Copies of this chain bind each other. A is one copy, B any other.
Amino acid sequence: MKKIMNTAAHFVDEMLEGILAAHPDRVKLCTGSNRVILNAHPPREGKVGIVTAGGSGHLPVFLGYVGDGMLDGCAVGNVFASPSASAMAAMIRACDQGAGVLCLYGNYNGDKLNFNMACEEVEFDDIRTRTVLVMDDVASSPPEKADKRRGVAGMVYAFKVAGAAAVKGLDLDGVAAAAQMALDNTRTMGVALSACIVPEAGKATFAIEDDEIEIGMGIHGEPGIEVRKMMTADQIAELVLEKLMNDMPLHAGDEVSIMVNGLGATPLEEQYIVYRRLHKILTDKGIKVFMPHIGEFATSMEMAGLSVTLMKLNDSLKEYLAAPASTPFYTNANK
């Protein structure tokens, strides 16, 4: 195992210390918890709070999106492990500006269990919460069981849309509806060429041969749909786009945002080669692309591979996507 770290036990805390040391003008720790990150700029009174939580090992997800125009807080777990309910409750309290708090997070059992406990706990403080689950990974469950799907890179679009809706002044139900609208129109699928190494385990999360690609892999190394012999960039783009569009049909005149998300070790060059083909197929079908996002948005540490996310746009989603945002890892760079 070659990882640039000190000890596995301190991996997450030292990463957090690094982020806080680098970005003190943008993020800060929540009083009473060294695993909760808040926006350093207090939101205005009456703005709906938006929080998320999840395991570490996916930077910029989750905490990298805490900042102006996106999230107000993020509770951070160990690598691939949920943070505690008490950390989540402290975060929700810190992020309530009197208008309630949206809990927007991936559909994983640990996170759900702990967020549900945290939301019950803050009810005693008369803090209203709403929950919207991200379940954009089409490879993780068929359409008839879409409520079993995992949340992956599409959550970044949901953070962006919900954040802009909250800044615009929508109330809690309105912000939750905006996040849900984004997610109803968002689908993701990924492919993996190599595994990642969880620091505490010290070995690869799964095995894959030197000439193979796994289709539909999850961001914690959950098994995909199938393992194939290595494919070309165009074949990958075509296969993934077909799966996404089977799940969410698109037609001439539609407009989408595309996210090509490197999982950690895939060169930007390769991501743009895939984007080239996606853009060509969609454009040939008369589908317009708005604000593509290409880079690393939701990773699995050193996993090689990428995911493709489509968000089908309407006027509201376009407005929210294009609204300003400024966080340590997201500044509307593709606007």
Residues of A in contact with B (beta carbons under 8 Å apart): 2-6, 11, 14-15, 17-19, 21-23, 56-57, 59-60, 64, 193-194, 210-211, 213, 230, 232-234, 236, 264-276, 279-280, 292, 294, 296, 299, 301-302, 304, 306, 328-334
A275 with B21: in contact, given A11-B269, A299-B268, A333-B329 (CB under 8 Å)? yes
Tally of this chain's copies: 2
Complex Cα gap A276–B292 (Å): 32
Complex Cα gap A237–B57 (Å): 21
Is A22 a contact of B334 with CB atoms below 8 Å? yes
- Chain B residue contacts of A299, Cβ below 8 A: 267-268
Is B4 a contact of A279 with CB atoms below 8 Å? no
Give the contacting residue for A4; candidates B2, B17, B57, B273; CB below 8 A. B273
- Chain B residue contacts of A306, Cβ below 8 A: 4
- Chain B residue contacts of A64, Cβ below 8 A: 268
Is A265 a contact of B268 with CB atoms below 8 Å? no
- Chain B residue contacts of A264, Cβ below 8 A: 265, 267
Complex Cα gap A236–B295 (Å): 26
Is A265 a contact of B302 with CB atoms below 8 Å? yes
Is B268 a contact of A211 with CB atoms below 8 Å? no
A233 with B22: in contact, given A267-B59, A334-B328 (CB under 8 Å)? no
Is B294 a contact of A268 with CB atoms below 8 Å? no
CB distance from A27 to the nearest CB of B (A): 12
Give the contacting residue for A233; candidates B6, B57, B328; CB below 8 A. B6
**Chain B residue with the shortest CB-CB distance to A264:** B267
Most buried by B among A56, A213, A279: A279
Is B333 a contact of A333 with CB atoms below 8 Å? yes
5 tightest CB-CB pairs across the interface, nearest first?
A18-B272, A18-B276, A265-B265, A4-B270, A59-B268
**Chain B residue with the shortest CB-CB distance to A266:** B4
- Chain B residue contacts of A59, Cβ below 8 A: 267-269, 272
